[in-house]
């Protein structure tokens, strides 16, 4: 039973009827065939971008790795050139289609990072595009500032100046306009080292932003330990996390966000050590990492299936990983991610007979209805045009 955007009570229908005047007074009764889950929380995406990066994909197939592709003109900087050339409203229009696709796959709360602007004007433009999209769409969007996603070409030879720009100009501007809930950094050898990351995240913390971290994605560098030391909401990727990083995560409230679709799409033969993290006692979330370079997927159910088959997680574990734990990775664990009294009435019904099938039918579209804040959302009637992105 749902009242005023929140769940009022949960239980057998006859008890709810007895407990509630509403139903007797003609409140709407919706019967759902199949399985009902809380709306999924996709706690790590880069959903504001222009064109896909098809050449990167093929270059990797021909043997170039992520860093070589980037060094040859592809990679994040290709999306940066693209985003810089687009208007805020163009980015928002592209994003609306993509957010509808994410919602149609069951994600009712979606974290979205900037990080393809890499200067004050373009980072703010991305964050404003997220705000514009959030106002128009039914999914809840949670914006994260990722100005330290890469060092832009104009700062290649004086990177400390870029770190200063992020700390002294971008973060204060983002905080002033309330454009982001959190700040993230790509902490990776060759991108931002641990000292630079600490400087940036400490500045963000001073401005009231929560912290997240791309940590130990491709090579371990102590990112997970840093995330824990700074009290970050999450440490994400963790493909190369150390034993000390696992122990630190397990002893903390920092959620380990794993992104198995990314490792698969990058052609990696390894995955983050999910079982060791679980067994050590860390909280695991799964996310799509939806982005044009390393994870062009909008489907958390696909990621859940990979969680089982690639990460060795159990069905129960992949469900917590996209609900309760994913909400915690955004600091929203008391507000959403559960079908329980007081929680936001974000609900998704799935056309399956057994709840485990949601993490089984790989890549299938199984969602039959979505409610956010207690009201039904229109779903796309046919295929979504993710690919219609006029060139910038």
Binding site for Fe ion (CB under 5 A): 289
In the chain, the N- to C-terminal Cα span, in Å, equals: 47
Q: What are the residues facing 192 on neighbouring strands?
A: 187
Chain length of the chain = 392
Q: Which does 217 bind (CB under 5 to 8 A by kind): ligand NIG, Fe ion, none?
A: ligand NIG
With CB under 5 to 8 Å by kind, the binding choice for 79 among Fe ion, ligand NIG, none is ligand NIG
Phi, psi for residue 232 in degrees, rounded to 5:
-65, 150
- Of the two residues 119 and 217, which places its CB atom closer to ligand NIG in the complex? 217
For ligand NIG, the nearest residue by Cβ is 293
Nearest approach in angstroms of CB 217 to ligand NIG is: 5
Q: Which is nearer to ligand NIG, 108 or 262 (CB)?
A: 262
State the residue number with the nearest CB to Fe ion.
289
Query: Residue with structure tokens 């504001």?
Result: 48
Instruction: In angstroms, give the least distance from the CB of 225 to ligand NIG.
Output: 18
User: How many other CB atoms sit within 10 Å of the CB of residue 369?
Assistant: 17
Q: Choose between 54 and 136: whose C-beta lies nearer to ligand NIG.
A: 54
- Sheet of 375-376, strand order: 35-38, 347-350, 367-372, 375-376
Contact 59, 74 (CB under 8 A): yes
Q: Which does 325 bind (CB under 5 to 8 A by kind): Fe ion, ligand NIG, none?
A: none
Angle at 249 between CA 247 and CA 250, to 5 degrees: 65
Q: Which residues bind ligand NIG (CB under 6 A)?
A: 46, 75-76, 79, 186, 214, 217, 262, 289, 291-294
Q: Which does 296 bind (CB under 5 to 8 A by kind): ligand NIG, Fe ion, none?
A: none
Shorter beta-carbon distance to Fe ion: residue 150 or 346: 150
Q: What is the DSSP letter of 36?
A: E
Q: Which residue's CB is nearer to ligand NIG, number 199 or number 262?
A: 262
Q: Round to whole Å and give the CA distance between 183 and 165.
A: 14
Structure tokens at 97: 């289609």
CB of 55 to ligand NIG, least distance (A): 13
């Amino acid at each position: 039973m749902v009242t005023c955007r929140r769940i009022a009570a949960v239980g057998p229908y006859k008890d709810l009827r007895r407990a509630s005047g509403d139903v007797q007074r003609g409140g709407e009764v919706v019967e759902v065939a199949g399985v009902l889950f809380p709306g999924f929380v996709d706690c790590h995406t880069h959903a504001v971008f222009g064109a896909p990066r098809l050449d990167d994909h093929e270059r990797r197939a021909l043997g170039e790795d992520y860093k070589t592709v980037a060094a040859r003109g592809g990679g994040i900087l290709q999306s940066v050139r693209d985003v810089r050339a687009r208007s805020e409203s163009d980015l928002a229009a592209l994003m609306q289609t993509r957010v509808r696709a994410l919602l149609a796959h069951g994600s009712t709360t979606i974290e979205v990072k900037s990080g393809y602007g890499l200067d004050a004007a373009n980072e703010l433009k991305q964050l404003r595009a997220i705000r514009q999209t959030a106002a128009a769409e039914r999914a809840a969007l949670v914006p994260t500032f990722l100005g330290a996603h890469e060092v832009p070409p104009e700062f290649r030879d004086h990177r400390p100046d870029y770190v200063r720009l992020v700390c002294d100009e971008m973060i204060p501007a983002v905080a002033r306009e309330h454009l982001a809930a959190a700040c993230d950094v790509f902490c990776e050898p060759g991108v931002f080292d641990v000292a630079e990351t600490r400087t940036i995240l400490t500045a963000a913390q001073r401005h009231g932003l929560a912290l997240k971290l791309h940590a130990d994605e491709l090579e371990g560098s102590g990112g997970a330990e840093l995330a824990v030391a700074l009290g970050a909401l999450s440490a994400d990727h963790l493909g190369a996390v150390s034993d000390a990083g696992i122990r630190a995560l397990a002893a903390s409230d920092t959620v380990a966000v794993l992104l198995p679709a990314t490792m698969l799409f990058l052609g990696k033969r390894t995955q983050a050590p999910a079982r060791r993290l679980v067994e050590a006692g860390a909280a695991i979330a799964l996310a799509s990492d939806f982005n044009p370079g390393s994870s062009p997927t909008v489907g958390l159910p696909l990621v859940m299936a990979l969680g089982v088959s690639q990460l060795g997680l159990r069905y129960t574990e992949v469900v917590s990983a996209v609900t309760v734990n994913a909400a915690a990775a955004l600091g929203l664990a008391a507000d959403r991610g559960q079908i329980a009294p007081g929680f936001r009435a974000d609900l998704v019904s799935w056309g399956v007979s057994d709840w485990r099938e949601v993490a089984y039918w790989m890549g299938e579209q199984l969602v039959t209805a979505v409610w956010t804040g207690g009201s039904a959302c229109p779903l796309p009637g046919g295929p979504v045009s993710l690919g219609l992105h006029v060139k910038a």
